[in-house]
Amino acid sequence: MDKREPSAIYIDILANLMDGPKGPTRLAQACNINYGRLAGFTDKMLERGLIRREAAGQQEVYAATEVGCEVYHKWSELRKDLPV
């Protein structure tokens, strides 16, 4: 299996949060990375204000912030122009 670039994982996390908040287990599964690796990415994203942690009943979930949504939408627009 090819190792993905960190930037691809950041975008994958944001893409999965565009549908709404997700708990860490579901988010890790959706991004196809293990929980420990996800934690490293989400910690950095929390520090930069791209995502936030919210309480959902007894569980904590991650949600994209306005800044995170902007980054994701800019990336989506840029990707349309790339020959991929």
State pLDDT tens for residues 37-70.
999 999 999 999 999 999 988 899 999 999 999 9
User: What is the value of pTM for the model shown?
Assistant: 0.90
Kindly provide the residue ranges of all beta strands, DSSP E only, lying in the chain, ordered along the sequence.
51-56, 59-64
Per CATH, is 6-81 categorized as 3.90.226.10?
A: no
Coil, helix or strand for 12? helix
State pLDDT tens for residues 8-37.
999 999 999 999 999 999 999 999 999 999
Query: For residues 33 and 26, is the Cβ–Cβ distance under 8 A?
Result: no
CA-based torsion, 14, 17, 19, 25: positive or negative: positive
